[in-house]
Structure 1
């Protein structure tokens, strides 16, 4: 997340960490306002801004729900309307971090933004809504030369209890915008609106960090930390920002807080090891790196992200080796096939490249990805035919 040239510097998006609530965090001891003069002029969206709806969005809810239906049918009608591209015309875009109203009007959004919008629409409809954090294995994506660690949340909708009405759908209605694959088999935990607001600020800070707008990044990370001090991912990101701006002491303290909140946070461990190495503590760095590697060795996306980094650095043989390791562990991910396809293309092996582009298209979960891969495959096919 090519300052982050290795997997040792990651930014967490849409958060999925297990916090330890018994550890008390004092944000004031870890914030450094003086180092980012002018941060206060960054316009941070309020909670009302993030979860609020305008008149058009509220009218959409009124139209989607037929008041003659029972609550279960109303929920189904609303969810169907939200998923109906003809109604909202939404495309999935990982970097689109927008408020509920912005998401409603825009043509692109990510998982968190879609969940926030759906929460707001469902609340407007009168349903009880809860956010769920899905504890997925570590999963990275690449953007602008950075490795970003992705989390995932979804929603559970339930009708409000009315008088003596018996609701037969006590388990609720789960709404998930995962563009990759179903997450039903992963553990879930309820998270509050304050955590989701902190996730939103964290994502906005990560966007600013990628764009090297450190003042803006600090403003959003600061807002996230003050909103939910026990959200460990924001301390990892703030520590990365401190490291990048050479505030090494604060960086180390922020990593340590993240690890106290979640001792299993491998991202915090990995980044702390990177900081150790950069500050002359090689033995400590190597010991921590070894712990992280042992825990990640069976994660296909660990090998995938190493392949992505090797590819970016022009180390094609090394990239190929990492992608093959990833494929050996997971043959269902379109990203891995795409990695192999683009590497073989760079190596001049058009036939193998075309084969893996075809497989990437077959494994893709979204129309946008399939269209992208098929377009590349068509170009390769034309090129191969002309040879």
Structure 2
């Protein structure tokens, strides 16, 4: 998903549906929804039905494909072929705008949440048993227009079972396919939890809200956040983003309450706590802020992916030496992180140290979890070797 969370200019984190596990609390504080603080928006947001709807032509194509399949396994193979090899224009992963199923078909590229929604709708049309899965990745953020987006991830699981063949016979097949569009396959090594369709719909609205916030469209963002909370009130990301919106409007009391509620919903997640600490700084509640900062720092320092992120940020800002320190810290916590080895290669290359860069690229290749990733490192190693021979 991609689901996202975003650091604003003062370090505040917005969540673009990171698909995170939530916990039931006593009651939902709907009183935190303060419509009077925002202007009406002359925009009709997508309905849940529109998010998952397929064009009639696509449904006809899928029904035609399904007629040739005699089992759920065959249907799944046909679905995978439709997604990745259809007429030479397979769907591409791109971590940007959140689209409906129909929009994704038209664009042929979208983020993981949009692609997964499309895959689910196609699977439903083929009468396959499909289940959304939320991958519980550690904190990991990327840059977008100067903002830091904290990303989550979802994919789709297709499971075998009873299916009706083309001659009306009933077939049973046991299998489990995972449809995942993110090339960074390390994410799939983390635990996952099942998600229901209404939760995915809430994530869609949360992503759209965060995108609106990035564009400065706060009134539209609020409209999407209201829809997200209505669809899935137990999603911490929506309340976190609502708090960010209130902080921007200087409604600090409302922001505090929304952050606190988000932290109650997802006590193991750190972003709402980190945001709340920043808010307490603004409010002059220094002791409360420091307590939260110590808690967050202690947990983040044990997360190799946190240091990997800091390495990426340091390298992007031109500080290769600082990046090297973060990548080494990441490897000290997890020696199998190919991405950290690759980061070290990039950092040393930025310093003109080609021999070290070559060594770390070779190490990244050895640690690669899949052939595609290994091939990517091999290609970069080849380029680096050729460049070294020319100088």
TM range (shorter): 0.7 to 0.9
The 5-angstrom pairing of residues 1-150 of structure 1 reads 1=6, 3-4=8-9, 6=11, 9-27=12-30, 29-38=31-40, 40-84=41-85, 86-150=87-151
Q: Secondary structure at the match of 2:14?
A: strand
The 5-angstrom pairing of residues 250-329 of structure 1 reads 250-329=254-333
Aligned pair partner of 1:217 in 210, 218, 221: 221
Q: Secondary structure at the match of 1:318?
A: helix
Q: Secondary structure at the match of 1:41?
A: coil
Larger CA deviation: 189-198 vs 81-90: 81-90
Q: Distance in 2 between matches of 1:238 and 1:115?
A: 25
How far 1:24 sits from its partner (Å)? 2.4
Q: Distance in 2 between matches of 1:320 and 1:16?
A: 31
Judge conservation of contact 2:70–2:164 (CA < 8 Å) in 1.
no
How far 1:71 sits from its partner (Å)? 2.8
Aligned pair partner of 1:230 in 234, 242, 266: 234
Judge conservation of contact 1:42–1:219 (CA < 8 Å) in 2.
no
Flag structure 1 segments of 5+ consecutive residues without an equivalent: none
Partner in structure 1 of residue 3 of structure 2: none
Q: Secondary structure at the match of 1:150?
A: strand
Judged with a 3 Å threshold, the aligned counterparts in structure 2 of structure 1 residues 250 and 102 are, in CA distance, closer, same or farther, namely same
* Partner deviation per Cα, 1:240-278 (whole Å, 9 max, x = no partner): 222233222111111111122122221111111121122
How far 1:161 sits from its partner (Å)? 6.0
Q: Distance in 1 between matches of 2:7 and 2:189?
A: 35
Q: Secondary structure at the match of 2:328?
A: helix
* Partner deviation per Cα, 1:134-178 (whole Å, 9 max, x = no partner): 323333233233322222222233556669976533665443334
The two structures, once aligned, show a CA RMSD in angstroms of 3.4
Q: Distance in 1 between matches of 2:339 and 2:109?
A: 20
Q: Distance in 2 between matches of 1:247 and 1:361?
A: 50
Larger CA deviation: 90-99 vs 70-79: 70-79
* Partner deviation per Cα, 1:312-342 (whole Å, 9 max, x = no partner): 5544432321122123334554543454344
Q: Distance in 2 between matches of 1:162 and 1:337?
A: 49
* Partner deviation per Cα, 1:51-103 (whole Å, 9 max, x = no partner): 00002322331343343522332223223332336554222111131111111
How far 1:115 sits from its partner (Å)? 0.9
Judged with a 3 Å threshold, the aligned counterparts in structure 2 of structure 1 residues 268 and 105 are, in CA distance, closer, same or farther, namely same
How far 1:345 sits from its partner (Å)? 4.3
Aligned residues, how many?
382
Judged with a 3 Å threshold, the aligned counterparts in structure 2 of structure 1 residues 338 and 24 are, in CA distance, closer, same or farther, namely same
TM-score when normalising by structure 2:
0.83
Q: Secondary structure at the match of 2:172?
A: coil
